[in-house]
């Protein structure tokens, strides 16, 4: 199996001496087979983006690992052996990708205090009657839990936030109106050499929530 890779993007580079030892947090927006990842440097009152990129949670050489609960387009995978095999690949890929990411950021002097994980839904898949929708929900749950487990293995605590409540949660925690938060998160991406899309903004806001408190310290 090919080793998954962490692919940074944007304006990453040498960390200023003043940033060494400052609190930093990771933010993720989980997708099917991968996640957007943002590293945000504190303080919480004026955070800044250090790096934005993508981490792989599946193996490109095993295409079905990107959608393990699909046997084909529109057809749910129901073979327990196949599901167990693909789940194992996802978990291994997540561990490797997150280990590489965390190790790289620690090596540059960042003091990771936690990670925020944005997901599309927290509905239990087994409560969904439609097999196709249930398959998507099961994949969402799988990639989320694989990412959480990988972070725990790397010594980083994670906090999960559902996307539809992200801005309301942030407004209450950061004591800012939602429109002001949207402007602030958009501004974080100005001047970057790479695009700054909705997934990047969601990941950045999740990391900002971590910087604002409530998540356990890095356990390394």
CB 209 within 8 A of CB 116: yes
Confidence of residue 20 (pLDDT cuts 50, 70, 90): low
Query: CATH classification of 6-10+19-211 is 3.30.420.10, yes or no?
Result: yes
Q: Is the pLDDT of residue 6 over 70?
A: no
Instruction: Return the DSSP state at 44.
Output: T
Q: Per-residue pLDDT for 45 more than 50?
A: yes
C-alpha distances (whole Å) from 108 to each of 22, 50, 101, 152 are 12, 11, 11, 20
Q: Give the integer Cα–Cα distance in Å for 135 and 95.
A: 23
Residue 76 CA: distances (Å) to CA of 83, 110, 148, 188: 11, 42, 25, 40
Tell me which H or E stretch contains 87. helix 80-107
Report CA dihedral (74, 78, 80, 81) to the nearest 10 degrees. -50
d(CA 38, CA 160): 15
Q: Which residue has the higher pLDDT, 70 or 35?
A: 35
Domain ranges of the chain: 6-10+19-211
Which tens digits make up the pLDDT trace of 135-169?
A: 888 999 999 999 999 999 999 999 999 999 999 99
Phi, then psi, of 105 in degrees rounded to 5: -70, -35
Task: Count CB-CB contacts under 10 A for residue 152.
Answer: 14
- Percent of all residues in the chain with a pLDDT value above 70, rounded to a whole number: 87
Q: What angle do CA 50, 39, 197 make, to 5 degrees?
A: 90
By DSSP bridging, strand 6-9 and strand 75-76 are: unpaired
Provide the CB-side half-sphere exposure for 89 (13 A, CA). 23
What pLDDT shows up at residue 19? 56
């Amino acid at each position: 199996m090919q080793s998954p890779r962490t692919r940074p993007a944007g304006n990453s580079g040498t960390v200023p001496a003043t940033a060494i030892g400052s609190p930093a947090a990771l933010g993720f927006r989980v997708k099917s087979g991968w996640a957007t990842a943002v590293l945000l440097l504190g303080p919480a009152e004026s955070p800044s983006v250090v790096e934005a990129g993508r981490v792989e949670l599946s193996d490109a050489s095993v295409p079905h690992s990107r959608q393990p609960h699909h046997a084909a387009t529109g057809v749910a995978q129901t073979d327990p052996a196949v599901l167990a095999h693909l789940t194992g690949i996802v978990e291994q890929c997540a561990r490797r990708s997150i280990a590489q990411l965390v190790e790289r950021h620690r090596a540059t002097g960042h003091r990771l205090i936690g990670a925020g994980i944005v997901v599309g839904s927290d509905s239990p898949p087994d409560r969904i009657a439609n097999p196709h929708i249930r398959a998507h929900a099961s994949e969402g749950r799988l990639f989320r839990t694989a990412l959480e487990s990988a972070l725990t293995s790397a010594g980083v605590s994670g906090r999960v936030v559902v996307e539809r409540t992200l801005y309301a949660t942030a407004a209450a925690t950061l004591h800012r109106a939602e429109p002001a938060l949207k402007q602030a998160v958009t501004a974080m991406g100005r001047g970057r050499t790479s695009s700054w899309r909705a997934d990047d903004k969601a990941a950045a806001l999740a990391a900002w929530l971590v910087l604002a408190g409530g998540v356990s310290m890095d356990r390394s």
